[in-house]
């Protein structure tokens, strides 16, 4: 079956949906019954982009601010390029892994990762939110099948958009090979460069925006005894998101003292190394359609402290420590509990590895391929 897979999101620096697109696509390429053709937003190709287009994020911001209706103009250009290539490729099915399926005269599969635009509309740029509200209902109606990452999102989509359950297919995500336990020798270069010790720091991963609730973890950390903070810094990895100003302020002294380190966007391998060496991943997000960093931390042998919200319990099960998303004292208590209990650390690492072993991109691809067949022949 000839499949057109839209990989245009890989033009941007990779975040969760980009990782999904890449890893799923690579796994789909291993299935002999599929002939995968990739549309990258500009043209058609067989190989996946090795990295984001240089300067893509900066250029996109400039265009959005200078050109009214930039989303719609970009969309028209992409549609024309898609149509030109599709005429030659003649795909039998089109899959878009984001909210923005192009028009295709044939079976269309799309992936709905979450309903952030419904629950947290103020975390979206106004023009982007307007396009989502304008296009998404029609896209969901037009799609032959809709992939979702979790039971939680399937239930939300059915309730909010009145979708028939048989139109949705749940395909849990997987975890890339780079997320694995590593010994101190393997991590020595990275740890030395950042003046860190093995299991000697906490780690937060996520775009700096209110939905990720990173302020809870930051405030919980700042309430730890000074002796702990002086030897156990908190590393925050992630780019700046929309409405960054809605997050609380981080005391300048904590940054100056090196207790809180804002590392910004890091490469894939850097993130994997930092995860493998951390005392714990702190993941206090209020809303996730899956929660990929939780799975990646568990696969790395690193304990997770998170919140029992949205789809996160589907991923972490009982292999993580939980606190309420508004309970700073409770989150801090879990941090201290883990730090003081070596047996608990060992147990969570073992349980996390076992839990992560239940998820794979191979399984996600198999479910997706079966969904393609159902969409084409229904």
Helix (H) or strand (E) holding 276, with range, is: helix 268-277
106 and 248 fall within a common domain:
no
334 and 372 fall within a common domain:
no
Q: For residue 205, give the 3-state DSSP assignment.
A: strand
User: Is 19 inside a domain boundary?
Assistant: yes
User: Is 179 inside a domain boundary?
Assistant: no
| Closest alpha carbon to 212 in 252, 176, 240, 232 | 240
42-71: b (≥16 Cβ within 10 Å) or e: eebeeebbeeebeeeeeeeeeebeeeeeeb
**pTM summary value:** 0.93
Calculate ∠ Cα 366-140-173, nearest 5°: 30
Q: Which residue range is the domain that position 133 belongs to? A: 2-174+360-377
151 and 202 fall within a common domain:
no
Question: Using one digit for the tens of pLDDT, what is the confidence trace for 68-120?
Answer: 667 778 889 999 999 999 999 999 999 999 988 999 999 999 999 999 999 98
264 and 367 fall within a common domain:
no
Q: For residue 288, give the 3-state DSSP assignment.
A: coil
368 and 346 fall within a common domain:
no
Question: Using one digit for the tens of pLDDT, what is the confidence trace for 296-323?
Answer: 999 999 999 999 999 999 999 999 999 9
Contacts 24+ apart (CB under 8 A), 131-139: 131/71, 131/72, 132/99, 135/99, 135/100, 136/99, 137/161, 139/99, 139/100, 139/101, 139/110
What total of structural domains would you count in the chain?
Answer: 2
User: Is 150 inside a domain boundary?
Assistant: yes
Helix (H) or strand (E) holding 179, with range, is: none
Residue 175 to residues 156, 299, 307, Cα–Cα distance (Å): 24, 7, 20
User: Is 338 inside a domain boundary?
Assistant: yes
Residue 59 has pLDDT above 70, yes or no: no
């Amino acid at each position: 079956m000839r499949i057109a897979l839209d990989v245009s999101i890989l033009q941007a620096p990779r975040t969760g949906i980009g990782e999904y697109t890449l890893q799923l696509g690579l796994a789909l390429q291993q299935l002999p019954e599929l002939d995968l053709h990739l549309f990258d937003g500009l043209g058609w190709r067989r190989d996946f982009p090795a990295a984001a287009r240089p300067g893509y994020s900066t250029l996109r911001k400039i265009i959005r601010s200078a050109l009214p209706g930039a989303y719609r103009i970009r969309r028209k250009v992409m549609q024309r390029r898609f149509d030109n290539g599709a005429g030659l490729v003649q795909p039998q099915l089109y899959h878009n892994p984001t909210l923005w399926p192009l028009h295709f005269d044939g079976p269309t599969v799309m992936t709905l990762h979450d309903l952030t635009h419904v629950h947290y509309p103020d975390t979206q740029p106004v023009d982007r939110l307007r396009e989502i509200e304008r296009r998404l209902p029609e896209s969901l109606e037009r799609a032959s099948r809709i992939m979702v990452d979790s039971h939680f999102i399937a239930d939300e989509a059915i309730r909010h958009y009145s979708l028939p359950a048989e139109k949705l297919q749940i395909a849990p995500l997987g975890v890339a090979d780079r997320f694995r336990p590593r010994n101190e020798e393997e991590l020595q270069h990275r740890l030395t460069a950042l003046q860190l010790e093995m299991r000697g720091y906490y780690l937060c991963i996520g775009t700096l925006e209110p939905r990720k609730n990173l302020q809870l973890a930051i405030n919980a950390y700042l309430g730890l005894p000074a002796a702990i903070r002086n030897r156990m810094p908190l590393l925050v990895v992630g780019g700046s998101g929309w409405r960054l100003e809605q997050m609380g302020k981080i005391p300048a002294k904590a940054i100056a003292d090196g207790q809180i380190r804002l590392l910004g966007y890091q490469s894939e391998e850097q993130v994997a190394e930092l995860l493998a060496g951390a005392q714990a991943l702190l993941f206090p997000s209020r809303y996730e359609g899956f929660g990929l960093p939780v799975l990646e931390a568990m696969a790395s042998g690193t304990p997770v402290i998170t919140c029992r919200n949205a789809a996160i319990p589907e991923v972490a099960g009982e292999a993580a420590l939980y606190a309420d998303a508004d309970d700073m004292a409770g989150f801090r208590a879990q941090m201290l509990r883990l730090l003081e209990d070596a047996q608990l650390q060992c147990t969570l690492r073992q349980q996390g590895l076992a839990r992560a072993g239940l998820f794979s991109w191979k399984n996600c691809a198999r479910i997706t391929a079966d969904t393609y067949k159902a969409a084409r022949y229904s």
